């Protein structure tokens, strides 16, 4: 029996095939012209041996994660290929990874509009909604306009509030040199001060010495950290995130966080109404409260809640991680604590002013050096939303521009960049604050990001971290590492980078231990 196909079907399928072919060829020609116009050359550096799904790289990453060596593993890829920019593939996503300052500057600044945040949005959105940290384009631009003025004032950080929380932190520190974990205290300290600054109500987790697991504050702190864990799981699982465990618990944690913050949003909206009818007055010298400034600009309940949670997420763990990494290094090196004590001597024990803090050179060196060696946001990605180009990475010597097709993820690694020996010298892997005496880096130093999305809280974070450092240096004569790994820092990589084994130290007051 003869198989008959109607001529119409034939004609239609023929047209479909032709059209597909036509668009393919048109894309090919367009890209060829684009590459030629920009002088692009092909890349000679590819990390995968398995070019289809990239299982080899995935497996290597799983091993590295288990060994707490994800970042060293990333650096090793660059070294192994002897390159600053290479291609790889993660399941279905083509990746270009770079540690070349000029390329990073191009992604974050010069060709900012060619990129979006890409796949990070899905993981973060249950908790963050479309707040500043998790949106692109016009949405992001609106958020940035809303929040930026609140950071513009030089002195957003409230030193009196830091001092109050610091006094509570001190109560947890044994003054006889008994070993304890500073990192845990730093995470509580930054939560308490950030929630006071942002919500007008502190979680006061340092106020309690025993068990307070029943309080709303403790429930929030726990839910906030579970939400972050779930985000991390979702993020790491990538396209396979549906199979991750604990999805339901993650959503429940998000609900608890939202509910907790909404109370303060409602209070602030009520405050604004009272103010509008003249029932409350603001005085010059009132302490600075983020939520109060925000509610003057909008009374959109969801927007307020989202932005507050976004800023808390951006600002809390980051600053605690900076303090932890820095104290880990200071405690294990001789001479640094003494030099810090020397620098704060002139205060004769009183808390520093904002101006005094800003003028402390050695503390700044230590902070800069810590953020160089252990950048708390050690890697990041952007997604190319149109065909674009990187200035370096093409050709055998990598000096030619490199074509980036739309849909490519571009990853950059401040961790690797900050440890490049050609940029920082042969001792780049060492913590040596003195190197900042002469260093004046540009895009090769990127702890706070750059371009239009540069960190809004940089000044706040540096003020907070220097304040805590000054106060501890004033109070304790000796800082001794009691690390269980011989003083070798271990990667603690969650959403931020802290010390994997905590910061076990002994602090000693007075001459006798
Ligand atoms: C040592 C402490 C900190 C470090 C290293 C740090 C680093 C960063 C980095 C790398 C980004 C860019 C993320 C990206 O675009 O993918 C960022 C963004 C941001 N940071 Fe920080 N941050 C710190 C502390 C803070 C603090 C204390 C606050 C607020 C009080 C804050 C508020 C923000 C905000 C709102 C953004 C989003 C900006 C935007 O997308 O337009 N950060 N930060
Ligand atoms: C801040 O908290 C105080 C109570 O501690 C309250 O009286 C005030 O209205 C709050 N302000 C805002 C803007 O929420
Ligand atoms: C710390 O690094 C920043 C960014 O490069 C730089 O502007 C600043 O001068 C450095 N601070 C010190 C004290 O070296």
Q: Residue 102: inside a domain, yes or no?
A: yes
For residue 485, the model assigns a pLDDT of 95
Domain that holds residue 115: 39-119+377-425
pLDDT band (50, 70, 90) for residue 241: confident
Report how far ligand 2's centroid is from the alpha carbon of 117 (Å): 35
Nearest ligand (C-alpha, residue 304): 2
- How many residues in total does the chain contain? 513
Judge whether 451 and 112 are in contact, CB under 8 Å: yes
Q: What is the mean pLDDT of residues 279-289?
A: 80
pLDDT band (50, 70, 90) for residue 238: confident
Q: Is the pLDDT of residue 479 over 80?
A: yes
Q: Which residue's entry shows tokens 């001529």? A: 7
Judge whether 412 and 103 are in contact, CB under 8 Å: yes
Q: Residue 15: inside a domain, yes or no?
A: no
Question: Which tokens hold the place of 2?
Answer: 């003869």
% the chain with pLDDT above 70: 97
Which pTM value belongs to this model?
0.94
Nearest-CA residue for atom 6 of ligand 1: 448
Ligand 3 and 368: CB distance under 6 A = yes
Judge whether 241 and 265 are in contact, CB under 8 Å: no
**Total domain count, the chain:** 1
Q: Is the pLDDT of residue 54 over 90?
A: no
Task: Give the number of the atom of ligand 2 that is nearest the alpha carbon of residue 268.
Answer: 14
Q: Residue 267: inside a domain, yes or no?
A: no
Q: Is 144 helix (H, G, I), strand (E, B) or coil?
A: helix
Report how far ligand 2's centroid is from the alpha carbon of 199 (Å): 9
Q: Residue 281: inside a domain, yes or no?
A: no
pLDDT band (50, 70, 90) for residue 1: low
Phi, psi (rounded to 5 degrees) for 116: -125, 180
Q: Is the pLDDT of residue 72 over 90?
A: yes
Q: Is the pLDDT of residue 512 over 70?
A: no
Q: Residue 196: inside a domain, yes or no?
A: no
Q: Is 499 helix (H, G, I), strand (E, B) or coil?
A: strand
Q: Residue 63: inside a domain, yes or no?
A: yes
369 Cβ partners below 8 Å, 6+ apart?
Answer: 326, 329, 431, 432, 433, 435, 436
Lowest mean pLDDT among 111-125, 200-214, 368-382: 200-214
Task: Give the number of the atom of ligand 2 that is nearest the alpha carbon of residue 291.
Answer: 13
Select from 164, 262, 271 the residue to mutate for testing ligand 2; criterion: most ligand atoms less than 8 Å from CB: 271
Task: Give the number of the atom of ligand 3 that is nearest the alpha carbon of residue 440.
Answer: 5
% the chain with pLDDT above 90: 81
The CATH number of the domain holding residue 91 is 3.30.43.20
Q: Residue 160: inside a domain, yes or no?
A: no
pLDDT tens track for 399-456 = 999 999 999 999 999 999 999 999 999 999 999 999 999 999 999 999 999 999 999 9
Q: Is the pLDDT of residue 390 over 70?
A: yes
Select from 158, 162, 190, 318 the residue to mutate for testing ligand 1; criterion: most ligand atoms less than 8 Å from CB: 318
Q: Is the pLDDT of residue 224 over 60?
A: yes
424-463: b (≥16 Cβ within 10 Å) or e? beeebeebbbebbeebeeebbbbbbbbeebebbbebbbbb
Q: Residue 331: inside a domain, yes or no?
A: no
């Amino acid at each position: 029996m003869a198989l008959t196909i109607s001529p119409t079907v034939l004609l239609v399928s023929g047209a479909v095939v032709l059209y597909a072919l036509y668009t393919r060829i048109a894309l090919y020609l367009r890209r060829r012209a684009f590459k030629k116009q920009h002088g692009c050359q092909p890349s000679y550096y590819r990390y995968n041996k398995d070019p289809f799904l990239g299982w080899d790289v995935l497996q290597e990453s799983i091993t590295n994660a288990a060994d707490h060596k994800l970042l060293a593993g990333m650096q090793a890829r660059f070294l192994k290929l002897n390159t600053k920019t290479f291609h790889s593939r993660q399941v279905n996503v083509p990746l270009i990874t770079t540690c070349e300052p000029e390329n990073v500057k191009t992604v974050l600044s010069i060709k900012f509009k060619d990129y979006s945040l890409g796949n990070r949005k899905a993981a973060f959105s249950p908790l963050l909604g479309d707040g500043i940290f998790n949106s692109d384009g016009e949405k992001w631009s609106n958020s940035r306009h809303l929040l930026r003025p609140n950071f513009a004032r030089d002195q957003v950080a409230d030193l009196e509030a830091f001092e109050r929380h610091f006094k509570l932190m001190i109560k947890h520190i044994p003054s006889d040199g008994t070993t304890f974990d500073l990192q845990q205290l730093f995470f509580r300290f930054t939560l308490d001060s950030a929630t006071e600054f942002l919500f007008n109500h502190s979680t006061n987790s340092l106020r309690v010495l025993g068990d307070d697991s029943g309080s709303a504050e403790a429930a929030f702190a726990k839910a906030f950290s579970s939400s972050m864990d779930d985000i991390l799981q979702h993020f790491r699982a990538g396209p396979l995130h549906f199979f991750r465990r604990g999805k339901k618990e993650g959503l429940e944690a998000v609900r608890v966080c939202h509910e907790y913050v909404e109370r303060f949003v409602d209070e602030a909206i009520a405050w604004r109404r009272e103010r509008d009818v003249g029932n409350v007055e603001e005085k010059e010298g009132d302490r600075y409260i983020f939520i109060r400034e925000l509610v003057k600009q909008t009374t959109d309940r969801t927007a307020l809640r989202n932005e507050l949670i976004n800023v808390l997420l951006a600002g809390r763990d980051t600053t605690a991680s900076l303090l932890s990494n820095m104290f880990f290094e200071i405690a294990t090196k001789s001479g640094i604590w003494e030099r810090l004590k020397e620098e704060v001597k002139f205060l004769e024990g009183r808390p520093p002013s904002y101006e005094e803090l800003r003028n402390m050179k050695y503390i700044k060196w230590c902070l800069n050096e810590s953020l160089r060696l252990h950048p708390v946001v050690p890697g990041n990605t952007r997604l190319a939303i149109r065909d674009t180009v990187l200035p370096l990475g093409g050709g055998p010597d990598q000096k030619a521009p490199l074509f980036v097709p739309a849909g490519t993820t571009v990853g950059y690694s401040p961790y690797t960049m900050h440890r490049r020996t050609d940029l920082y010298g042969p001792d780049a892997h060492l913590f040596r604050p003195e190197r900042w005496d002469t260093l004046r880096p540009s895009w090769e130093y990127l702890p706070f990001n750059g371009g239009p999305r540069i960190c809004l809280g940089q000044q706040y974070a540096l003020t907070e971290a220097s304040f805590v450092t000054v106060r501890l240096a004033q109070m304790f004569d000796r800082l001794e590492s009691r690390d269980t790994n011989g003083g070798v820092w271990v990667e603690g990589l969650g959403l931020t980078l802290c010390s994997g084994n905590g910061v076990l130290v002994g602090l000693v007051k007075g001459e006798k231990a």
